Amino acid sequence: MRPLMPLRLRLLSVMPLCALVGCATVKTRAPEPAVSEEAVTVSAPAARVDTVPVTAVELGAPPVAVEPRWVTAGVIEATLRAAEQVTGPASTSGRFWDVLLTPSQMGRSIVQRSTQLVGMRSLRKVSRAVPDDCSGFVRLAYRSAGIDLVAHGFLSGENAVSAIFRRAVEVGSVHHQPPRPGDLVFFRETYDRNRDGRRNDGMTHIGVVEGVDSHGTVTFIHRGGKGVARGRLNLSFPARHQLEQGGPVVNDFIRPAAKGSRAYLAGELFAAFASPEKL
């Protein structure tokens, strides 16, 4: 009988190197009995992985070219399968990668539809199924992502903005973090809804976030008094129209001056953001 010690030493000397190589690459090997060849075969030896495109509007600066990296297809597949064990598969195609891509795609669809409507004096030219106001605008924008913002209905005496906000609170999508493109932005008391001369009107205005620049100024699209237009909001300086004389605007006026009342800026009347994923 041959001694086992030399064999064990040889195995120990080889195994660490194999483990290191196995972590870095995926080698072609014969299929194991318990797994079919179809389950482990990839259609190409390598797959190209690029980052999800981010617009200049999202970053507030010209897009920077990113050198793409090549990753072995088997490593990608193993990573996705391991992630599925932790988070569960996506509801559409059963791939974890979809969970990461879907929110960005949803936001892009909403922003794309919103920008298409910029400059329109009236929403009647697009649809008569929604009111020609700020709530009708966001409903049209969100329809592009398959979301009906008022499908839950209205409470007695509730306006559309309040109804959408109530829904956002119920599903947990309201937040006060830096917004993402496609998020809703809510404002309160942008006009005297009940005409009592007091600021007690609750949620009265809504828009869609288009992007955030490097200084934290949010660009949003909304249906205002002159049609669909862009507005600016900066929560770091809520009571400043401009940071300095002749400088860039950081907050647009969102409530005009009236008898006995001054004009108000977007930062002063901001209420909350809400992400579209749960709506």
Low-confidence ranges of the chain (pLDDT < 70): 1-103
- How is residue 200 written in tokens? 């007690």
- Whole-model pTM above 0.75? no
Q: What CA–CA distances, in Å, run from 163 to 49, 100, 128, 142, 237?
A: 41, 29, 20, 15, 29
Comparing C-alpha atoms, which of 75, 68, 106, 273 is closest to residue 186?
273
Half-sphere exposure of 8 (CA within 13 A, CB side): 4
Position 78 scores a pLDDT of: 52
Residue 1, in any domain of the structure: no
Domain membership flag for residue 24 = no
For the packed helices 73-87 and 96-117, what is the interaxial angle rounded to 10 degrees?
Answer: 90
Q: 188 - beta bridge partners?
A: 203
Measured distance CA(134)–CA(164) in Å, rounded:
12
Answer whether residue 11 is part of any domain. Answer: no
The Cα 135–Cα 152 span in angstroms is 15
SS3 69: strand
- Contact between residue 205 and residue 268 where contact means Cβ atoms under 8 Å apart: no
pLDDT for res 199: 80
Which two three-digit tokens encode residue 159?
């306006």
At residue 94, the pLDDT reads 39
Q: What is the pLDDT of residues 138-179, one digit of tens each?
A: 999 999 999 999 999 999 989 999 999 999 999 999 999 999
Phi-psi sector, 136: left (phi>0), alpha (psi -120 to 50), beta: alpha
Q: Is residue 103 included in any domain, yes or no?
A: yes
> Mean of the per-residue pLDDT values for the chain?
75
> For residue 17, is it within any domain?
no
Total of domains in the chain:
1
- Per the listing, tokens 């900066």 go with 234
Q: Tell me whether residue 16 is in a domain.
A: no
What 3-state class would DSSP assign to 206? strand
Most distant CA atoms of the chain, gap in Å? 106
Burial 88-114 (b: 16+ CB within 10 A, else e): ebbeeeebbeebeeeebebbbbbbebb
Residue 236 inside a domain? The answer is: yes
In terms of residue numbers, what domain contains 253?
31-279
The whole-number pLDDT of residue 259 equals 85
| Per-residue confidence (pLDDT) for residue 82, from 0 to 100 | 52
Residue 18 forms part of a structural domain: no
Nearest to 208 by CA among 221, 195, 225, 223: 221
